[in-house]
Chains A and B, each alone.
Chain A
Amino acid sequence: MRANNVITNGYYFLKKLLLYQPPSDPTPFVLEEAPDNKPSKSDQLTGELANSFQDLEAFLRYAHRVIAFLTKANMSLSQGHYSDKTKNLKIEYQALEKQQSELEPILLAYQSGQGVLGERSLSTSLEENRQIIESLYHLPLNKDIVIREIDIASDPLVKAMAIFIDGMVDTKIQNLAIFQPLMLLGSDQRRLYDGDLVDNIIRKYLPTSQVQRAGNFAKLQEGINGGDTALIFDGIAEAILVNTKGWEHRSIEKPSTEPTVRGSQSGFTENLRTNTTLIRTIMRNSDLVTELFKVGQRSQTTVAMLYIKSVANPQLVAEIKRRIQGVRTDDLESSGTLIQFIEDHPLLPFPQSLSTERPDRVGPHLSEGRIALIADGNPYIHILPVSFFTFFHASEDFSLPFPIANFQRFLRLFGTLIATVLPSLYIAISYFHVEALPTQLLLAIAGSREDVPFPAWFEVLIMEISFELIREAGVRVPGVLGTTIGIVGAIVLGQAAISAHIVSPAVVVVIAITGLASFTIPEYLMSAAIRLIRFSLLLFSTYMGLVGLATSLLWLTVILCSMKSFGMPYMVPIAPRTTAGFDVVVRGPVYSQKQRPDALNTIDQKRQPQISRPWKKKQPAGKEDEE
């Protein structure tokens, strides 16, 4: 205790005035090591004590119910209403009996020993079910889940509970199809408890298109998490899952990454059902099969696999199914992640499946015998298996006339070649094989290089990296600004670099042509792979000139030839040689596509009869009138 006189007060006052005291903030938050495994709830004990605590609670609630029942029975019997009330009482009594059987110690021990709450089957008591659901969904902490208790008009009264996630359900459908018929449009006279309650309600009183029955909590959770409304009834150990999916999603827009001139303009969205619908509108075939899988432990993402059963190779289908079902992970981010889980060579940069945003591309590939994979939440569909040459086909190749489409294809292949090889060729020739350049060109380049202090490979490297930076920047910056930055950056950078004598004009031209050529590759992943390859080719040719370039091209070819895309060799139909069909490098006329690609080993090889245009063989219309 300090003395309370003038001197000490004055002293302490001066001290407080003059001395600097740092503000007394609490210590900042540091993310410490997470506690071991089990999430500890403040209101739940761990270990065996928790289980026995829960069992005791269950017993307690049962005891309360029995007491309530006894009170009610006593009251009604003493009042003397026999006939109908006895029936209700009997039903209630039977329900209580069932609940008692559930509370057998062995069963309880088994259920608590299981640990996983989700595996438990529903109990006949509404209250028990509610308890379990509250602990599963961490209610009342979790504000997304809504539990709505309703009374269904019937004789006797059916107590029910609707559980759904707010935001994921379409409230209109809920009100019209579930609550209205059950609550308003019923009558007191119907006897729902006769026979199978759930069956009665499903068949007669739920005017919705899709319902399911759920017997355990796992299925119930799946349904609720997927946007269904769960109906649990008192006295029945089953629940109804009503499809009321109706969350906000993007509508069908133009495909953002695959613009075309003459193709269709609708693109896939994030919703799985919309995507399958789009494909179905293009392929209106009964043989088109959609198989659904759930991938990811925590995310439970739906993955759909579509194929035409009468065409696709059944072994391929079985293998893909096996691979998808063998993926063990917590969450699946996108279809791209899924593909990396199941493809043959995830470490190589070359894509082994075609990812597209357009349904009009998926349709023809499906009819060729390929398989489409859709992941919920991602608008990119993957088509597999594909060969290397598929990546150079644009989506509207078949919409355009024969010479134009082929000219564009050659242009693309030429562009790919240039994009891969041009900088390396420039470096190799200017360092090691100067005699290959015409003299005047050589002297012009040499003269312009005199002002540049850097070696040629360094110039090429700087320009390449800055080009990649510009490209990356153009992708990340949104909207109109992106393209402007790209153009401005490229021009200004190039021009300024030349005037500052950092690079020579020849190198700028080379890099610009290379960059432009790499934009002609239709598939984004393939062009990314080519960009990567270009750097390694550059390294080889800086070191050993054209010998290095030749060696690296050879390595590249051998690596490509050894790759397989889901069982189909990557470079088919060139290596190994199979019947090409008329659509590898050059595209044949649309009436000549008689065979499906041989390498897919489909069930049915023919896709057009011998004569695809029978009108050619017959008389033209209008001639019958003449003599």
Chain B
Amino acid sequence: MSYQSGRMGTAEGIALVFTMTFTTIFVTLPAELIETSGELGWISEIASGLSTMAMLFLFIYVFERFPGDLFYVSTRLLGKLGACLISIYYIVMFFSVATLLIRDFSENTLFAALPELDFHLSVGWYALSVAFLLYFGIEAIARAAYVILPFSAGGIILAFALLVPHYKPYYLFPWQGTGMTNALIKSGVLVASNAAAPLLAVIAKSFQNIRVLRAAAIFGLGGSMLIKSTSILILIIVFGPSAAMERTLPFFEMTRLISLNRYIQRIDSIFIILWVIAGIFGITISLYMGLYLITRLVNLPTMKPLIPIVTLLLAQIAMIPPDASSVRALEGILVKGYFLIGIYVIPLLLFAATLLNKKRGTKCASE
């Protein structure tokens, strides 16, 4: 694994960020957001997306001053110890995102696709696919994500379009739901639904230049933000808020409703392809980020021997929680608490350090 700068372009950057962040459509998160904020749930995603984008722009500001990736920048600004702590935090964050996704998607598969599948086999299958894909490197994964991007976005929009007979727009009123503060703050800014967005910072050196990072942040995050808030919107319109917050798998339920005539019925199975691919990508990318940080931290020459070990470990960890409600509880703790540090605290820290650094004006002679 060489630490040369890479040449990934805008398209791959957008694809990476988009694929990583829009997997939350397929889990229970939208239903929980609707529970907290009622009819205004769709704004929570926009709020969360915008605040994460702002934080990403802080990161980009830091990278403009100090070209390199996250580890290099934090070493320069905060010293070895600071870099160590930040890296360890992000490693834990990415790995927990990956583990949660493995668990969520295996359970989704068991529930929605193959009810009689063995649980261990489902987790093992996801882990195996991810391990296989990781050997090809981030470039191939990002390119494949870009290839699949129009199909997944198109598929989701198609699903929304096919549901038009069930729309009841007045369910969006009373439009404030449980209150603006609830919607914006409690379920918007304080819920890390875009937890993995800092991946742009982690592999910043693999992109061509700062413009690519900016475009990836705006379009990737913006696009996924739009799709997520549209999906919550459609969920409210179709089910009404009281029925929507009961659902375990909102997107799956929406696709189950599609029935236009005698032939276009019960086609939720076709959408399985969509979310399985999205899930596997999500797990792969977050695992890659975690592994990349480990190799940077400990200065290993390559990542490949770590892949089977880490995948196996994470698969085992994913199987630890005994039932679905404990997974929900764990997710609540992580998404509403731990991930927020990575999204808000660390960029602000680095930003402040950059500003201070500039003010002090001490630059090494070898700069």
Q: Does A571 contact B143, Cβ atoms closer than 8 Å?
A: yes
Q: Does A545 contact B113, Cβ atoms closer than 8 Å?
A: yes
Q: Does A561 contact B143, Cβ atoms closer than 8 Å?
A: yes
Residues of chain A from 558 to 599 with CB closer than 8 A to chain B in the complex: 558-562, 569, 571, 574-577
Question: Does B211 have its Cβ within 8 Å of any Cβ on chain A?
Answer: no
Residue-wise, chain B 137-156 has the 8 Å CB interface mask toward A (1 for contact) of: 10111111011100000000
Residues of chain A from 268 to 284 with CB closer than 8 A to chain B in the complex: none
What is the bound-complex CA distance between A577 and B143, given in angstroms? Answer: 9
What is the bound-complex CA distance between A432 and B12, given in angstroms? Answer: 34
Question: Does B302 have its Cβ within 8 Å of any Cβ on chain A?
Answer: no
Question: Does A547 have its Cβ within 8 Å of any Cβ on chain B?
Answer: yes
In the complex, what residue of chain A is closest to B275 when comparing beta carbons?
A550
Q: Does A577 contact B10, Cβ atoms closer than 8 Å?
A: yes
What is the bound-complex CA distance between A555 and B131, given in angstroms? Answer: 11
What is the bound-complex CA distance between A562 and B140, given in angstroms? Answer: 5
Q: Does B136 contact A436, Cβ atoms closer than 8 Å?
A: no
Chain B residues with Cβ under 8 A from A544's Cβ?
A: 114, 117, 125
Question: Does B220 have its Cβ within 8 Å of any Cβ on chain A?
Answer: no
Residue-wise, chain B 1-21 has the 8 Å CB interface mask toward A (1 for contact) of: 000000011111000000000
Distance in angstroms from A10 CB to nearest chain B CB is 87
What is the bound-complex CA distance between A438 and B263, given in angstroms? Answer: 6
Question: Does A554 have its Cβ within 8 Å of any Cβ on chain B?
Answer: yes
Chain B residues with Cβ under 8 A from A196's Cβ?
A: none
Q: Does B11 contact A576, Cβ atoms closer than 8 Å?
A: yes
Chain A residues with Cβ under 8 A from B272's Cβ?
A: 433, 546-547, 550
Distance in angstroms from B142 CB to nearest chain A CB is 8
Question: Does A157 have its Cβ within 8 Å of any Cβ on chain B?
Answer: no
Question: Does B300 have its Cβ within 8 Å of any Cβ on chain A?
Answer: no
Question: Does A71 have its Cβ within 8 Å of any Cβ on chain B?
Answer: no
Question: Does A429 have its Cβ within 8 Å of any Cβ on chain B?
Answer: yes
What is the bound-complex CA distance between A145 and B123, given in angstroms? Answer: 72
Q: Does B140 contact A558, Cβ atoms closer than 8 Å?
A: yes
B141 touches which one: A546, A558, A576 (CB < 8 A)?
Answer: A558
A576 touches which one: B8, B129, B270, B276 (CB < 8 A)?
Answer: B8
Question: Does A626 have its Cβ within 8 Å of any Cβ on chain B?
Answer: no
What is the bound-complex CA distance between A438 and B265, given in angstroms? Answer: 7
Distance in angstroms from B280 CB to nearest chain A CB is 6
Question: Does B269 have its Cβ within 8 Å of any Cβ on chain A?
Answer: yes
What is the bound-complex CA distance between A545 and B8, given in angstroms? Answer: 34
Q: Does A551 contact B147, Cβ atoms closer than 8 Å?
A: no
Chain B residues with Cβ under 8 A from A569's Cβ?
A: 143
Chain B residues with Cβ under 8 A from A547's Cβ?
A: 109, 113-114, 125, 272, 276
Which of A435, A547, A560 has the most chain B CB within a 10 Å cutoff? A547
Q: Does B137 contact A550, Cβ atoms closer than 8 Å?
A: no
Chain B residues with Cβ under 8 A from A158's Cβ?
A: none
Chain A residues with Cβ under 8 A from B139's Cβ?
A: 561-562
Residue-wise, chain B 92-114 has the 8 Å CB interface mask toward A (1 for contact) of: 00000000000000000100011
A546 touches which one: B137, B142, B147, B273 (CB < 8 A)?
Answer: B273
Question: Does B133 have its Cβ within 8 Å of any Cβ on chain A?
Answer: yes
Chain B residues with Cβ under 8 A from A66's Cβ?
A: none
Question: Number of A residues contacting the other chain (C-beta, 8 Å)?
Answer: 28
Question: Does B132 have its Cβ within 8 Å of any Cβ on chain A?
Answer: yes
- Assess A576 versus B280: contact at CB under 8 Å? Given A551-B129, A557-B147, A557-B148: no
Q: Does B136 contact A559, Cβ atoms closer than 8 Å?
A: yes
B143 touches which one: A438, A545, A576 (CB < 8 A)?
Answer: A576
What is the bound-complex CA distance between A433 and B9, given in angstroms? Answer: 39
Q: Does B147 contact A571, Cβ atoms closer than 8 Å?
A: yes
Which of B143, B270, B274 has the most chain A CB within a 10 Å cutoff? B143
Chain A residues with Cβ under 8 A from B140's Cβ?
A: 558-559, 561-562
Q: Does B12 contact A575, Cβ atoms closer than 8 Å?
A: yes
What is the bound-complex CA distance between A212 and B117, given in angstroms? Answer: 76
Question: Does A375 have its Cβ within 8 Å of any Cβ on chain B?
Answer: no
Q: Does A575 contact B266, Cβ atoms closer than 8 Å?
A: no
In the complex, what residue of chain B is closest to A569 when comparing beta carbons?
B143
Distance in angstroms from A17 CB to nearest chain B CB is 78
B132 touches which one: A429, A553, A555, A576 (CB < 8 A)?
Answer: A555
Chain B residues with Cβ under 8 A from A133's Cβ?
A: none
B269 touches which one: A436, A561, A571 (CB < 8 A)?
Answer: A436
What is the bound-complex CA distance between A546 and B141, given in angstroms? Answer: 21
What is the bound-complex CA distance between A562 and B139, given in angstroms? Answer: 7
B113 touches which one: A432, A560, A561 (CB < 8 A)?
Answer: A432
Q: Does A550 contact B11, Cβ atoms closer than 8 Å?
A: no
Question: Does A153 have its Cβ within 8 Å of any Cβ on chain B?
Answer: no
Chain B residues with Cβ under 8 A from A571's Cβ?
A: 143, 147
Question: Does A236 have its Cβ within 8 Å of any Cβ on chain B?
Answer: no
Q: Does A433 contact B269, Cβ atoms closer than 8 Å?
A: yes
B9 touches which one: A432, A438, A558, A576 (CB < 8 A)?
Answer: A576
In the complex, what residue of chain A is closest to B266 when comparing beta carbons?
A435
Distance in angstroms from B147 CB to nearest chain A CB is 5
What is the bound-complex CA distance between A575 and B140, given in angstroms? Answer: 9
What is the bound-complex CA distance between A438 and B142, given in angstroms? Answer: 37
Residues of chain B from 257 to 301 with CB closer than 8 A to chain A in the complex: 262-263, 265-270, 272-274, 276-277, 280-281
- Assess A558 versus B136: contact at CB under 8 Å? Given A544-B125, A576-B143: yes
Distance in angstroms from A414 CB to nearest chain B CB is 15
In the complex, what residue of chain A is closest to B279 when comparing beta carbons?
A550
Chain B residues with Cβ under 8 A from A560's Cβ?
A: 144
Chain A residues with Cβ under 8 A from B136's Cβ?
A: 558-559, 561-562
Q: Does B125 contact A554, Cβ atoms closer than 8 Å?
A: no
Q: Does A551 contact B280, Cβ atoms closer than 8 Å?
A: yes
- Assess A575 versus B125: contact at CB under 8 Å? Given A435-B266, A562-B139: no
Distance in angstroms from B90 CB to nearest chain A CB is 24
What is the bound-complex CA distance between A569 and B143, given in angstroms? Answer: 10
What is the bound-complex CA distance between A91 and B117, given in angstroms? Answer: 97
What is the bound-complex CA distance between A592 and B274, given in angstroms? Answer: 36
Chain A residues with Cβ under 8 A from B263's Cβ?
A: 438
B114 touches which one: A429, A432, A554 (CB < 8 A)?
Answer: A432
Chain A residues with Cβ under 8 A from B125's Cβ?
A: 544, 547, 551
Question: Does A308 have its Cβ within 8 Å of any Cβ on chain B?
Answer: no
What is the bound-complex CA distance between A551 and B132, given in angstroms? Answer: 11
Distance in angstroms from A365 CB to nearest chain B CB is 24
A436 touches which one: B109, B148, B270 (CB < 8 A)?
Answer: B270
Chain B residues with Cβ under 8 A from A438's Cβ?
A: 262-263, 265
Question: Does A549 have its Cβ within 8 Å of any Cβ on chain B?
Answer: yes
In the complex, what residue of chain B is closest to A421 when comparing beta carbons?
B273
What is the bound-complex CA distance between A403 and B265, given in angstroms? Answer: 34
Distance in angstroms from A559 CB to nearest chain B CB is 7
In the complex, what residue of chain A is closest to B270 when comparing beta carbons?
A436
Chain A residues with Cβ under 8 A from B148's Cβ?
A: 554, 557
In the complex, what residue of chain A is closest to B150 when comparing beta carbons?
A574
What is the bound-complex CA distance between A79 and B8, given in angstroms? Answer: 93
Chain A residues with Cβ under 8 A from B143's Cβ?
A: 561-562, 569, 571, 574-576
What is the bound-complex CA distance between A368 and B8, given in angstroms? Answer: 25
In the complex, what residue of chain B is closest to A546 when comparing beta carbons?
B272
Residues of chain B from 148 to 184 with CB closer than 8 A to chain A in the complex: 148
Binding site for B on A (CB under 8 A): 429, 432-433, 435-436, 438, 544-547, 549-551, 553-555, 557-562, 569, 571, 574-577
- In addition to A547-B114, A554-B133, 12 A-B residue pairs with Cβ atoms within 8 Å of each other are A432-B269, A436-B266, A436-B267, A554-B281, A555-B129, A558-B133, A558-B141, A571-B143, A574-B143, A576-B8, A576-B12, A577-B11
Closest 3 CB pairs of A and B: A575-B143, A562-B140, A433-B269
Instruction: List 28 interface pairs A-B (beta carbons < 8 Å), by A numbering.
Output: A432-B114, A433-B113, A433-B272, A436-B269, A436-B270, A544-B114, A545-B114, A547-B109, A547-B125, A547-B272, A551-B276, A553-B273, A553-B277, A557-B144, A557-B147, A557-B148, A558-B133, A558-B136, A558-B141, A561-B140, A561-B144, A574-B147, A575-B12, A575-B142, A576-B9, A576-B11, A576-B12, A577-B11
